[in-house]
Copies of this chain bind each other. A is one copy, B any other.
Amino acid sequence: MRNFKLCLCYDGSRYRGWQKQGNTPDAIQGKVEALLSRSLEQPVELHGSGRTDAGVHARCQTCSFRADTPLSCPELLELIRRYLPEDIGALSLEEAEASFHARLSCRGKSYVYFVWNSPEPNVFYRKYSFNCPQKLNIAAMREAAKALLGEHDFTSFCSLKRMKKSPVRRLDAVEISREGDMLRLKFSGGGFLYNMVRILTGTLIEVGLGERRAEDIPAVLAACDRQAAGFTAPAHGLFLWEQSY
């Protein structure tokens, strides 16, 4: 059996998210797994670096799968590209070491959240960014972001009521940049809880709007209570961005 590393991009708009659940055809993992199994004529299991929620996009979702095939990587990549739907793209394919696993080997990853920040609408980015026409105080948002860095119990930034695993995560960097009217929030870290990036973004937007202060972020973390943090920014502005191995 050979082991492969496949990088996918996808427009999450019409999917229920990455992870397959039962036989629903509207999960990206299930869709690609079915395609691989059919075209390689063997059952293929596809592992992604992590889940993405319904409606969340991926600029790059690193995946791994094992298969027995005489095809070269370029041939296999061409075969995959031929059958993928137009909203899922295969960026690259290479053979990986036997021990490589897209989720278990992942050392860190990043997400980018896009905010269209102008009273003038942009119809072309409407499905790929959150529309916030009000003025945002970027300096205050950066200040608040600093307080989030490092290892913390991020329970306040998680939508799950009961967690089986530890709510402690390490946030390595939050970069907030602006290009024209588009604001870009990049979050890098070891791992993220359910809805964590969207709640971090919602909270930072509330700071930008002057609805809460940067100084209050430590208290939000300390509360360990979802009610203490800001709103959950909508899925369609979020992109799984890159992974490190």
Contact = CB atoms under 8 A, between A and B. Distances in A.
Nearest to A77: B119
Contact of A123 (B87, B120, B126): B87
Interface string A164-192: 00000000000000000000000000000
A91 B90 CA distance: 36
A45 B177 CA distance: 42
Contacts of A81: 121
A72 to B, nearest CB: 15
Nearest to A239: B124
Interface size class of A (residues with CB under 8 A): 10 to 19
A241 interface: no
A89 B121 CA distance: 6
Most interface-central of A87, A89, A122, A123 (chain B CB within 10 A): A123
Contacts of A91: 120-121
A227 B166 CA distance: 68
Contacts of A57: 124
A128 B120 contact: no
A213 B42 CA distance: 48
Nearest to A85: B123
A80 to B, nearest CB: 11
A11 interface: yes
Interface string A1-34: 0000000011100000000000000000000000
24 contacts: A9-B121, A9-B122, A9-B123, A9-B124, A10-B123, A11-B123, A11-B124, A11-B126, A57-B124, A81-B121, A86-B123, A86-B126, A87-B123, A87-B126, A88-B123, A89-B120, A89-B121, A89-B122, A89-B123, A90-B121, A91-B120, A91-B121, A92-B120, A124-B128
Contacts of A86: 123, 126
A128 B125 CA distance: 11
Contacts of A121: 9, 81, 89-91
A91 B122 CA distance: 9
Nearest to A78: B119
Contacts of A87: 123, 126
Closest CB pairs A-B (n = 5): A89-B121, A89-B123, A11-B123, A91-B120, A87-B123
